Amino acid sequence: MVLVVRSDLGLKKGKIASQCAHAAVLCCMRASNEAAGKIKLDTWLMQGQPKIVLRIESLQEMHLLTERAEATGVIAEIVRDAGRTQVASGTETVVGLGPDRSEAIDSDDDVCARDTNPHCRDGLLPRRKQLIFVCQRGRDISQRVDYKLVFRSACVGVQLRRSRTQLQNVA
What's the CATH number where 108 sits?
A: 3.40.1490.10
Q: What's the pLDDT band for 41 if we cut at 50, 70, 90?
A: very high
* Any domain includes 63: yes
User: What was the pLDDT predicted at 123?
Assistant: 53
Closest CA to 137 of 53, 51, 14: 51
Give a yes or no: residue 164 inside a domain.
no
Q: Which residue has the higher pLDDT, 135 or 57?
A: 57
**CB within 8 Å of 62: residues ≥ 6 apart:** 4, 6, 56, 78, 92, 95
66: in domain:
yes
Q: Regarding predicted confidence, which is higher, 136 or 29?
A: 29
**What does the pLDDT look like over 123-137, one tens digit per residue?**
555 543 444 444 444
Q: Does any domain span residue 34? A: yes
pLDDT of 94 reads 96
Position 123 in a domain: yes
- For the chain, what is the radius of gyration of the CA atoms? 16
Sign of CA dihedral 8, 10, 13, 15: negative
Reply yes or no on whether the pLDDT at 163 is more than 90. Answer: no
* Residue 108: per-residue pLDDT: 40
Residue 65 placed within a domain: yes
Q: What's at 36, amino acid-wise? A: A
Does the residue 38 lie in any domain?
yes
The pLDDT tens digits of the residues spanning 70-112 come to: 888 899 999 999 999 999 999 999 999 999 887 777 654 322 2
Q: Say how many Å lie between the first and final Cα of the chain, rounded.
A: 20
- 159 inside domain: no
Please count the structural domains in the chain.
1
9: containing domain? 2-135
